[in-house]
Amino acid sequence: MKTLDFSYYMELKFDEPVSGHHFTIKCMPQTTVRQRIEELRVDVYPNRFLSYDEDSFGNKCIYGHMEDAHDHFEIRMEGRAVTGIAPAETETDAVHAGMFRYQTQMTRPGKEILALAKSVSFAQEASNYEKARLLMKKLHENFSYVPGVTDVETTAEEALALGKGVCQDYTHIMLSLCRIYQIPARYAVGLLEGEGQSHAWAEVWSDGGFFPLDPTNNCVVGDAHIHISSGRDYRDCMINQGIFTGAAQQKREIHALVTQAEQ
């Protein structure tokens, strides 16, 4: 286990004022079987008309809207997490887990992913978790981490055809591979120890729980990761999404920092 201090900052700057801004924010980690969240603080600007709830996947959300004109939008979140408490998230509802067996628009396989899936051989008695570990290893051998060649709309098939991408692409391909073999797998967003932005990984259902695997780093998710949200793919876990009235161009700045807490 580790005790980690974390912070996340995002700012949108508009080149001219916008109004009628409606937004949903999913940036708040919560206490689960695997982690305990302490001293969580979240600030949003503009902060009028905010409400708090959960989405259909159990992720904590902030909903809000700002009718008045404004030229920037900020999220600041910080807190402390005790991580690595358990290896998996318990999930006793197999029906709920089953929804993550189906492909989405972002994970639907084509010839590239189908060929990669067929190149993996499983032992007859292998569990979902063991199969997923083999799929992750094969993916890591055939895909390279290269920022800037994909974007948030790049599908798993498109990314694998390129042979390179970032954590979102690794995760979408991993989900696609698992779902080909009828293994329920979900997309997870969180923070990783160090400095940068948010991170993504997969969570695979096996033996009554969701076991997290980080295909970008070809490793089991341990106490260096802080979980924020889960869903069917990236679109269910977007930290910020919204609409506004106006023709403004926007520039986004994101900064995340996770460090071991001083005892």
Query: Please, which pLDDT band fits residue 92 given cuts at 50, 70 and 90?
Result: low
Count CB-CB contacts under 10 A for residue 28: 19
- Do 93 and 205 share a domain, yes or no? yes
**Strands 164-165 and 144-145, bridge-based pairing:** parallel
- Do 113 and 39 share a domain, yes or no? no
- Residues 143, 144, 145, 149, CA torsion sign: negative
Q: Residue 93 above 80 pLDDT?
A: no
Q: Specify the number of domains making up the chain.
A: 2
- Do 68 and 97 share a domain, yes or no? no
What is the reported pLDDT for 18?
94
CA distance 122 to 224: 29
What is the reported pLDDT for 91?
66
Q: Residue 263 above 80 pLDDT?
A: no
Position 251, amino acid: K
CA distance 67 to 125: 58
CA distance 158 to 107: 10
The answer to whether the beta carbons of residues 40 and 122 sit under 8 Å apart is no
- Do 246 and 232 share a domain, yes or no? no
Q: Could you tell me which residues are beta bridge partners of residue 21?
A: 66
What is the reported pLDDT for 51?
94
Q: Residue 53 above 90 pLDDT?
A: yes
33-48 pLDDT, tens digit per residue, is 999 999 899 999 988 8
Calculate the CA dihedral of residues 44, 46, 49, 52 and round it to 10 degrees. -10
pTM of this prediction exceeds 0.85: yes
Q: Residue 13 above 90 pLDDT?
A: yes
For residue 163, which phi and psi values (nearest 5 degrees)? Answer: 80, 10
148-153 average pLDDT score: 96
Q: Residue 95 above 80 pLDDT?
A: no
- Do 147 and 30 share a domain, yes or no? no
- Do 168 and 244 share a domain, yes or no? no
227-246 average pLDDT score: 95
Query: Please, which pLDDT band fits residue 124 given cuts at 50, 70 and 90?
Result: confident
132-155 average pLDDT score: 97
DSSP letter for each residue of 181-196: TT--EEEEEEEESEEE
The answer to whether the beta carbons of residues 218 and 136 sit under 8 Å apart is yes
100-111 average pLDDT score: 98
- Do 38 and 163 share a domain, yes or no? no
- What percentage of the chain reaches a pLDDT higher than 90? 89
What is the reported pLDDT for 48?
80
Q: Residue 125 above 90 pLDDT?
A: no
Q: Residue 146 above 80 pLDDT?
A: yes
- Mean of per-residue pLDDT scores for the chain: 94
Q: Residue 89 above 90 pLDDT?
A: no
- Do 126 and 229 share a domain, yes or no? yes
For residue 239, which phi and psi values (nearest 5 degrees)? Answer: -65, -40
Q: Which domain holds residue 7?
A: 2-84+240-260
- Do 71 and 165 share a domain, yes or no? no
CA distance 68 to 191: 33
Classify burial at 253, counting beta carbons within 10 Å of its beta carbon; exposed 0-12, middle 13-18, buried 19 or more. exposed
- Do 140 and 219 share a domain, yes or no? yes
DSSP letter for each residue of 167-227: HHHHHHHHHHHHHHTT--EEEEEEEESEEES-EEEEEEEETTEEEEEETTTTEE--TTEEE
Query: Please, which pLDDT band fits residue 123 given cuts at 50, 70 and 90?
Result: confident
- Do 55 and 179 share a domain, yes or no? no
- Do 118 and 59 share a domain, yes or no? no
CA distance 30 to 60: 8
Residue 57, domain CATH: 2.60.40.2250
